[in-house]
Amino acid sequence: MAADTSQVPVPARQAPVPECMIDVRHLRKRFGSKVVLEDVSFTVQRGTVCVVMGGSGSGKSTVLRHLIGAYRPDNGEIYLDGEEITQLDARALQQVRRKFGMLFQGGALLNSLTVGENVALPIRHHTELPEETIEIMVKLKLELVGLRDAEHLKPSEISGGMQKRVSLARAIALDPKIVFYDEPSAGLDPIVTGVIDKLMIDLTDKMGITSLVVTHDMQSAFRIADKMIMLHRGRIVAWHARRDAGVARSASATVHHGRSGRSHPAAYVAKRVPRGYFGVVVSSPCGRGLG
Ligand SMILES: Nc1ncnc2c1ncn2[C@@H]1O[C@H](COP(=O)(O)OP(=O)(O)OP(=O)(O)O)[C@@H](O)[C@H]1O
Ligand SMILES: [Mg+2]
């Protein structure tokens, strides 16, 4: 006789666990005798924007270079979309790099190529797609950043803000899961910065891209961040998360100061935590599980 399945209890729906796209664990790096990163740990959930802030020389770009596999840590692990990357050989790393895009500080466009050719570069590098397909992909990405008509211009013929948008189109050319940005608003006026910020938010919300943004622009950071991490001398000294983001915590605003109680760079951020954010300032070293 067939079993009566009508009474089989249906398990209660569980709240979706936010997926961890970036998981950095106990990252440590020294150059010569200088310790540049000291036990840096943090996570970034899928489809959110994490901003890394900190003073000059605090280690922001060094974190980013580890994440793109340009540096190997002395200690620690980095998982991108579940894959540990610090031990990968060059070939395997190349495969992982297909999953992420990078917007370099200066934009790094090639002036000898047109805007369209610049956007096509990563597609040509990583795939063997036919020319017609590449052309369609390029047009689509340029459309996404509002630069459909600039395809045949040279980078020198467009403004700095437009160049940044082209760099962004190039960074997302292969539909990456993660985009890394190094100082995306450097050298831009506040209005153009606002345009780039909106684009970053749109890409996150509409395409589900996970973004890690290194910036020193506080206004921009508060506009785009779901989570902020503050680095100071290679350690995370503070982090903040937007309450309504996927990474929301139920705690209300709490700010702890380091044991010394002395003036701390993190206090600067803490004083400016806007509504909708809560902040935690950790006395270093921060442990795993931070965010
Ligand atoms: N390849 C390297 N060799 C030696 N020292 C390095 C190297 N890369 C970074 N450093 C040192 O590590 C420290 C952190 O550098 P990093 O570029 O990460 O700082 P940053 O926070 O990005 O600063 P900025 O805001 O000025 O860009 C600096 O003291 C820098 O001199
Ligand atoms: Mg830097």
- For the chain, give every domain's residue range: 106-175
Mean pLDDT of 51-63: 93
What percent of the chain has pLDDT above 90?
Answer: 52
Mean pLDDT of 163-188: 91
If one compares 264 and 183, the residue with the highest pLDDT of the two is 183
Side by side, which strands form the sheet with 34-45?
34-45, 20-31, 75-80, 83-84
If one compares 55 and 5, the residue with the highest pLDDT of the two is 55
Task: Work out the pLDDT band at 277, boundaries 50, 70, 90.
Answer: low
Segment among 36-40, 229-233, 239-243 with least mean pLDDT: 239-243
Closest atom, ligand 1, to C-alpha of 64: 18
Q: Whose CA is nearest to atom 1 of ligand 1?
A: 31
Residue 233 confidence (pLDDT) above 80: yes
Mean pLDDT of 14-39: 85
State in Å: Cα 56 to ligand 1 middle: 8
Mean pLDDT of 38-54: 93
Residue 249 confidence (pLDDT) above 50: no
Closest atom, ligand 1, to C-alpha of 58: 21
Highest-pLDDT range among 16-20, 43-47, 278-282: 43-47
Long-range CB contacts (within 8 A, 24+) of 267-273 = 269/53, 269/218, 269/228, 269/230, 269/238, 269/240, 270/238, 272/218, 272/222, 273/240
Residue 173 confidence (pLDDT) above 50: yes
- Please give the pLDDT value at position 216: 86
State in Å: Cα 234 to ligand 2 middle: 12
